[in-house]
Structure 1
Amino acid sequence: MLRQLRHEELDFVQNAPVRLVFAREIAAPPDAVFTALADDVTGWTDWFAAVTRAEPVEGGSPGRLIRLRGGVRFTESVLAADRPERYAYRVDATNTPGLRALVEEWRLDPAGTGTRVRWTFAADGPAPFRGLLRAARPGLGRSFRDAVTALDRRLAKG
């Protein structure tokens, strides 16, 4: 069963109790990366190994239904889709114990002919949960690097 999380806005990316930020440069141009993030929701399963299902939903605002390996589920609301610089979303409901609020932001900056992709994972929960998230930083970083590398390969194939 999913439970509702606290609804945060974009400023949470800057002031969350836990902020994990990862960055990597890839060859794909920002607009192509933005399209993969924001427009090709179902395609996330092709390049982000942790995502087993992704589908867009429309309601009062655009959103997504996400399933991750291990059975984690999220319903999300898109907070920003500023082509081609930023894509951000808030998790509205999840089955993850301890999580109180989560906002993720993808920033895309030109880097030569490619893109510098920066992912911010901003979260809140009780102290033990925050400590667990901080301890998970290396794994989340590896997941991000692998995903962005796979996305770059996918976009290079066309």
Structure 2
Amino acid sequence: MAHRLRPVGVDFVETAPVRLVFTRDVGATPDAVFRALAEDVAGWPEWFSAVASARATDGGREVRLRGGTRFQESVLVTKAPEVYAYRVDVTNTPGARAWIEEWRLTPAGTGTRVQMTFALDGTAAFRLVCRLARPGVGRSFQQAAAALDRRLAG
């Protein structure tokens, strides 16, 4: 059952009780990576295997993950080509109370250092599951960033 989460601001990225931060360098420029993140929302399933479908909405996105998890999100920051951040407003994830995902892009040689931060809050059980899921979420991010890099190179 879907439920509405607490509407936190972008500062929550630094203050959330659970922060999962992952980084990977890719060969594409920050501009190209930013466009793939912020402008080609429907293309996410082609490089992020956890995403079954994604579509832009007025001021946000609707995302469905493989396995049935759903998100209605509000885009909070689109500062090209440096930051793209969105807040989960509604989800069917049990125990979630507040959730922001932030992508930071910085030049790294001729490519880009991609940093993704999951800023999360919820019930004690939700927070524990998020911490335990860190290795799997990290692998998913690494695979997605590598696939995005291949897509942008081709």
TM-score by length of 1: 0.96
1:86 is aligned to 83
Supply the AA of the counterpart residue of 1:23: T
CA distance in 2, matches of 1:125, 1:43: 30
Q: Equivalents in 1 of 2:93, 2:20: separation in Å?
A: 18
Amino acid at match of 1:30: P
Distance 2:128 2:93 in 1: 15
| Partner residue of 1:119 out of 107, 116, 123 | 116
Measured in 2, the distance between the counterparts of 1:13 and 1:2 equals: 23
- 2:67 counterpart SS class: helix
Where do residues 61-80 of structure 1 align in structure 2 (5 Å cutoff)?
A: 62-80=59-77
Q: Distance in 2 between matches of 1:147 and 1:55?
A: 18
Alignment RMSD (CA, Å): 0.5
Residue 42 (structure 1) aligned with residue 42 (structure 2): yes
Tell me if 1:103 matches 2:100: yes
- Give percent identity, aligned residues only: 64
Residue segments in structure 1 that go unaligned for 5+ positions in a row: none
CA distance in 1 between counterparts of 2:77 and 2:131 reads 26
**Aligned AA (1:99):** A
Aligned residue in 2 for 1:25: 25
Deviation at 1:155, TM superposition (A): 0.2
**1:95-140 residue CA offsets vs partner (Å, 9 max, x unmatched):** 1110001000000000011000000000001112101100000000
**Given the two structures, how large is their TM-score scaled by the length of structure 2?**
0.99
For residue 13 of structure 1, what is the aligned residue in structure 2?
13
User: Within 1, Cα distance between the matches of 2:2 and 2:104?
Assistant: 28
Does residue 1:139 correspond to 2:136, yes or no?
yes
Q: Segments of 4+ in structure 1 off by > 6 A?
A: none
C-alpha separation in 2, matches of 1:2 and 1:129: 15
Deviations 1:48-84 (A, max 9, x none): 00000000001xxx10000001100000000000000
